[in-house]
Amino acid sequence: MSTQTISKKKTLKPIDANSPTVRKMDFEGLENLPDHYIANNAFLTHTVNAYHILFPEGERFFIKSVKAYADQVKDPGLSSRVKSFIGQEVQHGKEHEKILEILKGQGRPIGIMERVYKWTAFSLLLPVFEFIFGKKLKLSVTAGLEHYTASMAEISIRHSFHDDAYGNMRSLLLWHACEEIEHKSVAYDVLQTVSNSYFLRVFGFFIASLMFWGYAISLQQWFLLADKKVGFRKYFQDMKSARRIGRILYPELFRAALLYFKRDFHPDQTGGYELANAALVTI
């Protein structure tokens, strides 16, 4: 562990959902990232690579969606949390963009992946949905996607999935996961401030589900097909090896998704803050 990493470990502020902290990070030692940096498993690595594609533009979408209604937030506490949410999402985007540059150096087709993702999601699908169902739908979709990212973060931390990652990739993924938990209720609370419509909430979550799973799976497979080091045998060997995580992650994530349909649901009900705090001090 480098001196800089040790320093960061000592100075990171604890998780506080009532007053999230913008933690500016600079993860070192990832320039020589292995091709398959999660347990030497292509299936797991390219699952994470798909998220590296999704996050930067996704974070910008989250920021715009929440910021569009920030002037309607009258509660000082929530207003402060919105500012922290925006700051955290900016930092997340920056760190994942650094990884994308490294992946480009590995010969991954990052450029075309980003163009296809940005055009289909943010120039086609979401504008069409917004035109039909109104501007608040973007905020609802954001709240739904935040529930997915926070739920996945909690599950991953609880089962130590990050420990399979190479070097400071573990720290990057863990830091992001902890902050997803810390700010998981912000977009939801803004949505409830501007509309308490149950239909809007669950319809936005339905669209979020289609986008979350659709892009994550298709980009993962795209990465695998473009990986010259993944042949027929390795593809199925690594897929079989990855099932140990899938058997835990997907059923728990499905149960977390079902919670969103409760009329009295709120993200704080799932907790996870102490879990995130314990994980943060290991970075």
Report the C-alpha gap between 154 and 272 in whole angstroms.
6
Of 192, 194, 156, the C-alpha closest to 175 is 156
Residue 4 in domain? no
Query: Angle, to 10 degrees, between the axis of helix 232-259 and the axis of helix 198-226?
Result: 170
* pLDDT reading at 1 higher than 90: no
Q: What is the pLDDT of residue 9?
A: 52
What total of structural domains would you count in the chain?
1
**Token couple for 46:** 């390219």
Residue 15 in domain? no
- Hey, what's the torsion of the CAs at 29, 60, 154, 81, to 10 degrees? 110
Contact 46, 147 (CB under 8 A): no
Amino acid identity at 52: H
Residue with tokens 């609802």: 140
Residue 3 in domain? no
Q: What is the pLDDT of residues 95-147, one digit of tens each?
A: 999 999 999 999 999 999 999 999 999 999 999 999 999 999 999 999 999 99
Q: What is the pLDDT of residues 68-86, one digit of tens each?
A: 999 999 999 999 999 999 9
In sequence order, what are the beta bridge partners of 38? 165
* pLDDT reading at 266 higher than 90: yes
pTM of the complete model beyond 0.85 = yes
Of 43, 24, 40, 150, the C-alpha closest to 98 is 24
Contact 35, 234 (CB under 8 A): no
Sign of CA dihedral 55, 57, 61, 67: positive
Q: What is the pLDDT of residue 3?
A: 35
Q: What is the pLDDT of residues 14-57, one digit of tens each?
A: 999 999 999 999 999 999 999 999 999 999 999 999 999 999 99
Residue 29 in domain? no
Return the HEC string of 104-155.
HHCCCCHHHHHHHHHHHHHHHHHHHHHHHHCCHHHHHHHHHHHHHHHHHHHH
**Which residues are CB-neighbours of 163 under 8 A, at least 6 positions away?**
170
Give residue 121's domain range. Answer: 34-280
Residue 10 in domain? no
**CB count, 10 Å around CB of 75?**
12
φ/ψ bin of 29: left (φ > 0), alpha (ψ from -120 to 50), beta (otherwise) = left
Mean pLDDT over the full length of the chain: 95
Q: What is the pLDDT of residues 173-205, one digit of tens each?
A: 999 999 999 999 999 999 999 999 999 999 999
Residue 5 in domain? no
Residue with tokens 């169902």: 133
Contact 177, 162 (CB under 8 A): yes
Helix (H, G, I), strand (E, B) or coil at 38: strand
**Token couple for 101:** 């540059």
